[in-house]
């Protein structure tokens, strides 16, 4: 408060003196205060002349800050304690700021210039209250924007981890540091960066949401760009380089060649099949790789590891030839077959058609699984194209070799239904021997629209061999032939003219159907459903029916109820005519008598007909 007392003293002295102003040399205000005799002033012993008062006012105006609340000014660190920093802003007193506000700058030292916000010019205890954090926040956005626009390097304090990266204090603003922007190498331990001060580049600012994104990787990339250009300029195909495994993915391995990354695809890691690259390499492993290819800019470099070793096909024994029996391990299975590793790096394909003599092509999974040790026969071998095809079924005899002996025409056998189509059923008699039953050969009596109405897959059926084509490897089978044809018996039992009693089963558009037994369903045309009283037969009504058509080949039977009484009427007419003729012979009637008799019979028939109506 010494400065305030000095000011008051100057004001009192100014009022008391009327002396003429005299110019004096400029004096340091600190020196003036140090030499000022307060005791004499308080006792009123010494007076201060106007010139000195004017000099003091000038010095105060030039050197002391006219502080206002919420104002940002620059101060100087004049003293540091374990917990606080004493800041001089050329005000009446110094301000105290906690070192927590300087966590981002652990190298803070006496003499450093810092921005501070004047919170309160003088609190209850007369202390100047300052804030560095608030000052940084006020000025931060201007600094961040300037750093982004000018591509300046800024310093930031890594506060903590967050999802996907880190939170960094930059100028008092919490900026986001993505995990991918920390280093050029993948980071496995993020915690090692917490509470560290690092240099960054502001790469993105979202003014709407007040988001700032920074990158440390951008600085590293800039440093290694020149080194990278030098390395790239010397790259050549076939060149062998040493590198370090930088990253492992499911499709390959990224190798750091010293600032330049290259990819070893999974297929170029080993001559043998592998499921994942980590079966061959591990992170940070040093190894030699060969350059296979690169694009025009050499930004995408394709590397190889297996190419540094001799191809297994070149080491394949010359003793292996077509027809030899080999043993191998199933390494890959596809729907069309399985790949067998005969020796390390040498594989042969067993197509599904070569796994069984059966003509039903099934999936390879039905025969083998990955890891199985199998025996096979070499079917083809191309050392130049490095291809080999194998077969399993060749280890067993071809069942068609003695097919005429085992399955002659007319012989009967049992088989399993393996599949069916719209036109028939495929039946497996034994492994490799299949036959076809046409839909027409399934049943003597049933009218089958689709085989699924008669059988299901997996059913066992008895069949008879109808035809045998050895060259075409085809068998024609029949199921109905294993039983007698009931229509041979029905041909006489339901011959045309025979009469049978049954009930109307169903009424259809043009008539009705009746079931004589489980095999024969007859059709009754509508005009043949008329009864003697002129009414029609109804569903469920029982009556006599006369067979008017029987076709064994087409399994067609047509019946009539009307024919029963119409035939009787015709017989009555014939009988009447016959009796009339006999009477004529005895009485020798005239022509008029005969006509009379016929007219009477005609009238009777007409009366009967009207009665029906």
What does the pLDDT read at residue 20?
37
Q: At what angle do helices 562-587 and 591-612 cross, to 10 degrees?
A: 160
pLDDT bin (cut points 50, 70, 90) of residue 493 is confident
Contact 79, 110 (CB under 8 A): yes
DSSP 439: G
CA atoms of 21 and 438, how far apart (whole Å): 137
- Residues of the chain with pLDDT > 70: what percent? 78
- How far does CA 529 lie from the centroid of its chain? 67
What does the pLDDT read at residue 12?
46
Strands 511-515 and 521-525, by their bridges, are antiparallel
Residue 597: name the closest of 579, 609, 570 by CA.
Answer: 579
Query: Is residue 401 over pLDDT 60?
Result: yes
Least reliable range by pLDDT among 9-13, 147-151, 171-175: 9-13
Query: Is residue 135 over pLDDT 90?
Result: no
pLDDT bin (cut points 50, 70, 90) of residue 584 is low
Sorted by sequence, the CB contacts under 8 Å of residue 90 that are 6+ apart come out as 63, 64, 65
CA atoms of 564 and 584, how far apart (whole Å): 31
What does the pLDDT read at residue 572?
59
Query: Is residue 583 over pLDDT 70?
Result: no
User: pLDDT, tens digit, for every residue of 218-247?
Assistant: 887 777 776 777 777 778 888 888 999 989
CA atoms of 560 and 512, how far apart (whole Å): 10
Q: What are phi and psi of 193, to 5 degrees?
A: -95, -10
Q: Is the pTM of this model over 0.85?
A: no
Write down the residue that tokens 């897959």 correspond to. 457
Query: Is residue 400 over pLDDT 90?
Result: no
Other CB atoms closer than 10 Å to residue 354's CB: what's the count?
Answer: 19
**Strand locations in 335-410 (E):** 337-343, 346-351, 373-382, 387-391
Query: Is residue 251 over pLDDT 70?
Result: yes
Query: Is residue 428 over pLDDT 50?
Result: yes
pLDDT bin (cut points 50, 70, 90) of residue 24 is very low
Average pLDDT of 333-360?
85
Q: Identify the residue with better confidence: 607 or 367.
A: 367
pLDDT bin (cut points 50, 70, 90) of residue 424 is very high
CA atoms of 519 and 447, how far apart (whole Å): 10
Residue 160: strand pairing partners: 167
Order of strands, sheet of 84-88, starting from the edge strand that comes earlier in the sequence: 95-98, 84-88, 71-80, 113-120, 129-131
Query: Is residue 390 over pLDDT 90?
Result: yes
Half-sphere exposure of 447 (CA within 13 A, CB side): 6
Task: Please give the helix or strand (H or E) that residue 197 lies within, else none.
Answer: strand 197-206
Average pLDDT of 451-471?
89
Other CB atoms closer than 10 Å to residue 545's CB: what's the count?
Answer: 27
- Residues of the chain with pLDDT > 90: what percent? 13
Average pLDDT of 160-167?
89
What does the pLDDT read at residue 379?
92
What does the pLDDT read at residue 11?
46
Helices (H), 151-216: none
CA atoms of 116 and 77, how far apart (whole Å): 11
What does the pLDDT read at residue 8?
47
Q: What is the mean pLDDT of the chain?
A: 79
pLDDT bin (cut points 50, 70, 90) of residue 319 is confident
Burial of 201 (0-12, 13-18, 19+ CB in 10 A): buried
Contact 351, 395 (CB under 8 A): no
pLDDT bin (cut points 50, 70, 90) of residue 3 is very low
Q: At what angle do helices 2-16 and 50-63 cross, to 10 degrees?
A: 140
């Amino acid at each position: 408060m010494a400065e305030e007392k000095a000011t008051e003293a100057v004001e009192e002295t100014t009022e008391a003196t009327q002396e003429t102003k005299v110019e004096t040399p400029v004096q340091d205000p600190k020196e003036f205060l140090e030499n000022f005799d307060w005791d004499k002033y308080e006792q009123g012993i010494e007076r201060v002349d106007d010139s000195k008062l004017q000099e003091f006012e000038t010095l105060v105006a030039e050197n002391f800050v006219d502080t206002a609340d919420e104002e940002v000014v620059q101060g100087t660190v004049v003293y540091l304690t374990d917990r606080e920093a004493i800041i001089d802003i050329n005000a009446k007193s110094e301000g105290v700021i906690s070192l927590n506000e300087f966590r981002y700058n652990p190298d803070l030292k006496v003499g450093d210039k810092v921005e501070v916000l004047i919170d309160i010019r003088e609190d209850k205890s007369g202390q100047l209250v300052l804030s560095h954090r608030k000052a940084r926040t006020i000025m931060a956005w201007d600094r961040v924007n300037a750093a982004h626009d000018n591509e300046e390097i800024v310093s930031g304090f890594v506060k903590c981890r967050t999802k996907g990266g880190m939170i960094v204090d930059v100028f008092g603003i919490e900026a986001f540091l993505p995990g991918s922007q920390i280093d050029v190498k993948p980071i496995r331990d993020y915690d090692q960066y917490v509470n560290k001060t690092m240099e960054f580049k502001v790469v993105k600012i979202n003014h709407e949401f007040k988001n700032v994104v920074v990158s440390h990787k951008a600085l590293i990339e800039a440093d290694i760009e020149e080194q990278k250009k030098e390395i790239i300029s010397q790259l050549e195909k076939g060149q062998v380089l040493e590198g370090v495994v930088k990253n492992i993915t499911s499709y390959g391995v990224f190798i750091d060649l010293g600032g330049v990354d290259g990819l070893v695809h999974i297929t170029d890691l080993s001559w043998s099949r592998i499921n994942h690259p980590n079966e061959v390499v591990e992170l940070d492993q040093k190894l030699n790789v060969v350059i296979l290819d690169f694009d025009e800019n050499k930004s995408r470099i394709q590397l190889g590891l297996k190419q540094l070793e001799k191809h297994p096909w070149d080491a394949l024994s010359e003793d292996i030839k077509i027809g030899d029996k080999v043993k191998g391990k199933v390494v890959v299975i596809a729907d069309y077959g399985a790949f067998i590793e005969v020796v390390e790096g040498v594989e042969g394909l067993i197509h599904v058609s070569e796994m069984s003599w059966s003509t039903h092509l099934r999936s390879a999974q039905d025969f083998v699984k990955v890891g199985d040790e199998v025996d096979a026969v070499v079917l083809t071998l191309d050392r130049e194209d490095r291809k080999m095809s194998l077969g399993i079924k060749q280890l067993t005899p071809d069942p068609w070799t003695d097919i005429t002996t085992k399955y002659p025409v007319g012989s009967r056998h049992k088989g399993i239904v393996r599949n069916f189509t719209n036109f028939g059923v495929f039946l497996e008699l034994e492994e490799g021997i299949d036959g076809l039953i046409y839909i027409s050969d399934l049943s003597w009596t049933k009218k089958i629209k689709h085989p699924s109405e008669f059988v299901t897959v997996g059913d066992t059926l008895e069949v008879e061999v109808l035809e045998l084509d050895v060259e075409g490897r085809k068998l024609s089978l029949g199921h109905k032939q294993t039983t007698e044809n009931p229509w041979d018996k029905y041909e006489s039992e339901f011959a045309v003219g025979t009469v049978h009693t049954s009930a109307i089963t169903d009424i259809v558009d043009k008539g009705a159907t009746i079931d004589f037994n489980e095999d024969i369903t007859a059709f009754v045309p509508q005009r043949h459903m008329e009864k003697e009283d002129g009414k029609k037969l109804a569903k469920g009504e029982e009556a006599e029916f006369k067979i008017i058509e029987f076709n064994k080949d087409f399994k067609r039977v047509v019946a009539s109820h009307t024919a029963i009484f119409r035939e009787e009427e015709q017989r009555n007419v014939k009988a009447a005519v016959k009796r009339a003729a006999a009477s004529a012979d005895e009485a020798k009637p005239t022509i008029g008598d005969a006509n009379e008799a016929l007219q009477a019979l005609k009238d009777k028939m007409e009366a009967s007909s009207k009665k029906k109506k």
